[in-house]
């Protein structure tokens, strides 16, 4: 059962130079209890998708079109007052960089209690009781609820952020680069925690990261974004074994692996386009080694090539064998 359905979402940032087409028509589904990974290079629009869902776009950001249906309600149609009722109670977010996301001069327990009191009301004592049980849930010492952000290590602060995201029992949690600044051992601790919470609470998740290795190990489905568009969207297995889009294949091939034989690494020449004036046709065509004339003039459709496996490329069938990563 889908908990979230995003259809043809378009989000622009209005700037002096013109609108930046940060997200230009993307669609995906998050099923209940599942994790969707959104991956792509910096500036591809993955965080904009998250902020569009949360209704937390900066003042120059606008959702221009599309639907964001969360649990039967289209969030795009709601006003700020109605969104407030949904934010944190139905969908919450774990921000990138816990040091900046927490208020340094308020103790962490109070910051979480504030969310509970604001959203659910009740007495202060109840809220603090809930904070302590949340601390236990994320495996932090409940005796430390009155401590300040700087007294916690990086991994612990991220646990505090997770506790805060879970404060009002949301159905969907968006994690925006939740482990990017952490060391690998701590990264793994946090990912294990998130996996076990997901199982226990039947949470649905969107994991946003630039790191395909993390996606490979934690997600059920993956959307690969480039320049504001979804290039490919499928279950995690097929994406990594038999990608249908050249961008996906090249990107996966650019990640070094610590296991198996050493293979030569890919790279993609050039840089992502400026989204004030995106390239015509396929947005990836200026960097695509397989691009033909049509790629620069006609935008490829976003087509379900195989059951549950979408890709936006004119030459899916021709390239199928060329770009498959198989077992290598």
Residues in the site for another protein, rule: CB under 8 A? 41-42, 153-156, 183-189, 192, 210-214, 216-217, 236-237, 240-241, 250-252, 254-260, 262, 265-269, 271
Between 16 and 258, CB nearer to another protein: 258
Between 106 and 271, CB nearer to another protein: 271
Between 10 and 193, CB nearer to another protein: 193
Between 7 and 210, CB nearer to another protein: 210
CB of 220 to another protein, least distance (A): 10
Separation CA 20–CA 10 (nearest Å): 11
Query: Cβ neighbours of residue 132 under 8 Å, at least 6 residues apart?
Result: 109, 142, 145
Backbone angles phi, psi at 74, to 5 degrees: -85, 110
Which stretches does DSSP call E strand in 46-171? 61-70, 73-74, 91-94
Between 120 and 139, CB nearer to another protein: 139
Between 125 and 261, CB nearer to another protein: 261
Between 41 and 71, CB nearer to another protein: 41
CB of 273 to another protein, least distance (A): 11
CB of 99 to another protein, least distance (A): 13
**What residues form DSSP beta bridges with 165?**
none
Report how far Cα 14 is from the mean position of its chain's Cα atoms.
23
Between 167 and 250, CB nearer to another protein: 250
Task: Please list, residue by residue across 77-109, b when 16 or more beta carbons sit within 10 angstroms of its beta carbon and e when fewer do.
Answer: ebeeeeeeebbbbbbbbbbbbbeebbeeeebbb
Determine whether 61 is exposed, middle or buried from the number of CB atoms within 10 Å of its CB (0-12, 13-18, 19+): middle
CB of 215 to another protein, least distance (A): 8
CB of 178 to another protein, least distance (A): 13
Between 81 and 267, CB nearer to another protein: 267
CB of 205 to another protein, least distance (A): 16
Backbone angles phi, psi at 251, to 5 degrees: -65, -45
Alpha-carbon distance values, 161 to 92, 190, 300 (Å): 10, 11, 40
Give the number of C-alpha atoms closer than 13 A to the C-alpha of residue 67, restricted to the C-beta side: 10
* Rounded (10°) CA dihedral 101, 105, 110, 111: -20
Cβ proximity of 70 and 79 under 8 Å: no
CB of 289 to another protein, least distance (A): 12
CB of 154 to another protein, least distance (A): 7
**What element of type H or E holds 199?**
helix 184-201
CB of 65 to another protein, least distance (A): 28
Separation CA 157–CA 37 (nearest Å): 22
């Amino acid at each position: 059962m889908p908990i979230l359905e995003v259809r043809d979402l378009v989000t622009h940032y209005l700037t002096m130079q013109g609108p930046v087409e940060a997200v230009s028509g993307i669609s995906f589904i998050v099923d209940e209890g599942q994790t969707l990974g959104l991956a792509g290079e910096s500036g591809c629009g993955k965080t904009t998708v998250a902020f569009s869902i949360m209704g937390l776009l900066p003042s120059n950001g606008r959702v221009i079109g599309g639907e964001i249906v969360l649990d039967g309600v289209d969030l795009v149609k709601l006003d700020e007052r109605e969104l407030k009722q949904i934010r944190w109670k139905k969908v919450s977010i774990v921000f990138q960089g816990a040091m900046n996301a927490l208020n340094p001069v308020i103790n962490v327990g109070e910051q979480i209690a504030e969310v509970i009191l604001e959203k659910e009301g009740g007495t202060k004592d109840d809220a603090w009781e809930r904070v302590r049980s949340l601390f236990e849930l994320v495996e932090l010492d409940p005796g430390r609820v009155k401590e300040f952000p700087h007294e916690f290590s990086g991994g612990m602060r991220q646990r505090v952020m997770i506790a805060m995201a879970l404060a009002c029992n949301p159905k969907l949690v968006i994690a925006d680069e939740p482990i990017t600044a952490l060391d690998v051992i701590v990264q793994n601790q946090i990912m294990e925690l998130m996996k076990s919470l997901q199982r226990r609470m039947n949470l649905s998740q969107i994991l946003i990261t630039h790191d395909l290795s993390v996606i490979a190990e934690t997600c059920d489905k993956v959307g690969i974004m480039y320049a504001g568009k979804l290039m490919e969207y499928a279950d995690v297995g097929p994406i990594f074994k038999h990608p249908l889009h050249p961008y996906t294949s090249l990107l996966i091939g650019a990640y070094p692996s610590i296991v198996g034989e050493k293979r030569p690494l890919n790279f993609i020449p050039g840089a992502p386009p400026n989204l004030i004036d995106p390239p015509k046709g396929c947005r990836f065509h200026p960097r695509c080694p397989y691009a033909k004339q049509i790629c620069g003039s006609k935008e490829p459709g976003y087509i379900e090539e195989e059951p549950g496996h979408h890709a936006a490329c004119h030459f899916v069938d021709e390239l199928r064998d060329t770009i498959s990563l198989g077992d290598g």
